[in-house]
Amino acid sequence: MSRLWSRTTASLVPYVPGEQPQDRRYVKLNTNENPYPPSPAVEAALRAFDPAALRLYPDPESRALRAALAETYGVPAERIFVGNGSDEILAFAFQAFFDPDPAAPVLFPDVTYSFYPVYAGLYGVPFRTVPLDDAFAVPVDAFLAPCGGVVLPNPNAPTGRALPLSDLERIVAAHPDRAVVVDEAYVDFGCETALPLLDRYDNLLVVQTTSKARSLAGLRVGYAFGSRALVEGLERVRDSFNSYTVDRLAQSLAAASLSDPAWFEETRARIVGTRERTARRLEKLGFEVVPSTANFLFAKPPKLGGAGLYEALKERGILVRYFRKPRIDGYVRITVGTPEEMDALVVEVARLLGEAP
Ligand SMILES: *Cc1c(COP(=O)(O)O)cnc(C)c1O
């Protein structure tokens, strides 16, 4: 606390990202990074990039990248917004679409991406959390209640559970005058995208990222699809804050990654295969594993507890994510790495539990 802080700054409870430790080499399964490198097309674009171009500001409208996204996803470029990671777009969305009206709180699940309450705090947006059921499924009917808007990751994080498109549509249709933000950070690992609903619902914003399935977490590029009204709302907030949120190199390399669908397909299929094999092995060791359509597994060990398993694995050089929070403190979230990394995980877990791997 400092006397120099504004009241807002003093009141913030900032997000705490997963560890990026420098003390030793870990098998790093804690921040849902992709274990495979980005497409070779990204490396080629990086080598071809002319540093002299950095003299100039980037295109504030990311036109070339939006054109590439339009082609990849079949959505017109004027309905696409590009941001400095999807986190930035989500923050802009809270400011652009939600009012500080206590009578109309924004809804999101009680167990979900922990950045949402942080954005709500930053922008003074009241919210109400909707409890997931005992199997961590989203109770669709509870999201139909009158509210100031909805934010829903699909699949949800950190559980990995997804809603089918028909359920998502009921939620979007229930709030024609409110923004419904669907955070599809993990959609490419086996869940249905909400993009087909865009033509029918002008209140739907679909947010995606290059950080997970495209192996570009270090580049910081996310994108959103929505009606012209929603995209213009995001543009208004951005252009009242920083016109150049996405730098030249990021625009160029993100576009390059879109040019190689074969790489994208192959790496995500590998991750899905490794996820399913790892889930079965953990179940054999007595874990309760939540069905996942993401690049991570949310799992409850038969003993040790979430904190105990996290600590013991960390000592052995394996990092997973543990959340000291109600309902989920018995669980760990394990990013799907390479088959070798998952072997190392299963071997250590079995040893800790006194079982054969
Ligand atoms: C990783 C993640 C993001 C953030 O992605 P960036 O594009 O890297 O900012 C957004 N939402 C959820 C649920 C995530 O897990």
pLDDT exceeds 90 at position 322: yes
Task: Count how many domains the chain has.
Answer: 2
295 lines ligand 1 (CB under 6 A): no
* 250 and 269 assigned to the same domain: no
Q: Pick left, alpha or beta for residue 32 (phi over 0 → left; psi -120 to 50 → alpha; otherwise beta).
A: left
**Which residue of 34, 112, 113 sits with most ligand 1 atoms within 8 Å of its CB, as the best mutation to test the pocket?**
113
- Beta strands, E only, the chain: 27-28, 80-83, 106-109, 127-130, 149-153, 180-183, 204-209, 222-225, 288-289, 296-300, 318-319, 332-335
Average pLDDT, the chain: 97
Q: SS3 for 83?
A: strand
Sign (positive or negative) of CA dihedral 274, 85, 77, 98: positive
CATH number for the domain harbouring residue 320: 3.90.1150.10
Residues 112 and 199 in one domain: yes
Instruction: Write out pLDDT tens, residues 116-172.
Output: 999 999 999 999 999 999 999 999 999 999 999 999 999 999 999 999 999 999 999
User: Which pLDDT band holds residue 355 (cuts at 50, 70, 90)?
Assistant: confident
Domain-located, residue 321: yes
Instruction: Decide if 294 is inside a domain.
Output: yes
**What integer pLDDT is reported at residue 21 of this predicted model?**
86
- Which domain-ending residue is among 257, 286, 321? 257
**What's 60's domain CATH number?**
3.40.640.10
- Ligand 1 centroid – CA 118 distance (Å): 14
Give yes or no: residues 205 and 265 share one domain: no
Is 173 found in the same domain as 296?
no
Confidence band, pLDDT 50/70/90 cuts, at residue 333 = very high
If DSSP codes are grouped into helix, strand and coil, which group holds residue 139? coil
Write the pLDDT tens digit of every residue in 196-216: 999 999 999 999 999 999 999
Tell me the pTM.
0.97
Q: For residues 208 and 274, state if they share a domain.
A: no
Atom 11 of ligand 1: nearest residue by CA position: 185
Q: Is the CB of 157 under 6 A from ligand 1?
A: yes
**Does 329 map to a domain?**
yes
State mean pLDDT over 36-40: 98
Question: Residue 2: inside a domain, yes or no?
Answer: no
Say how many Å lie between the CA of residue 185 and the centre of ligand 1. 5
The average pLDDT across 333-354 equals: 97
Whether residue 301 lies inside any domain: the answer is yes
CA 188 / ligand 1 centre spacing (Å): 13
- In ligand 1, the atom with minimum distance to the C-alpha of 31 is 1
- Name the phi and psi angles at 15, rounded to 5: -70, 145
| % of the chain at pLDDT higher than 70 | 100
Contact between 273 and 339 (Cβ < 8 Å): no
Residues 243, 277 within the same domain: no
Residue 161 covered by a domain: yes
356: pLDDT confidence band, cut at 50, 70 and 90?
confident
Shared domain check, 215 and 123: yes
Q: Which domain holds residue 119?
A: 40-257
Measuring from atom 5 of ligand 1, which residue has the nearest CA?
Answer: 86
Q: Is the CB of 94 under 6 A from ligand 1?
A: no
Would you say the CB of residue 211 lies under 6 angstroms from ligand 1? yes
Is residue 345 included in any domain, yes or no? yes
285 domain residue, yes or no? yes
- Both 288 and 239 in one domain: the answer is no
Give the residue, by CA position, lying nearest to ligand 1 atom 14.
185
The residue from 237, 257, 277 where one domain ends is 257
* Beta-carbon contacts of residue 305 (< 8 Å; ≥ 6 apart): 329, 330
Model confidence over 212-235: pLDDT tens digits? 999 999 999 999 999 999 999 999
Residues 165, 200: Cα–Cα separation, whole Å: 13
Q: Give the residue from 257, 273, 292 where a domain finishes.
A: 257
Q: Tell me which residue has tokens 């696409």.
A: 80
| Confidence band for 22, pLDDT divided at 50, 70 and 90 | confident
At residue 18, the pLDDT reads 84
Residues 15 and 85 in one domain: no
User: 227 and 157 in one domain?
Assistant: yes
Give me the mean pLDDT over the 31-57 stretch. 97
* Cβ-contact 329, 309 below 8 angstroms: no
184 lines ligand 1 (CB under 6 A): no
Predicted local confidence at residue 270, as pLDDT:
98
Same domain, 253 and 272: no
Does 322 lie in the same domain as 307?
A: yes
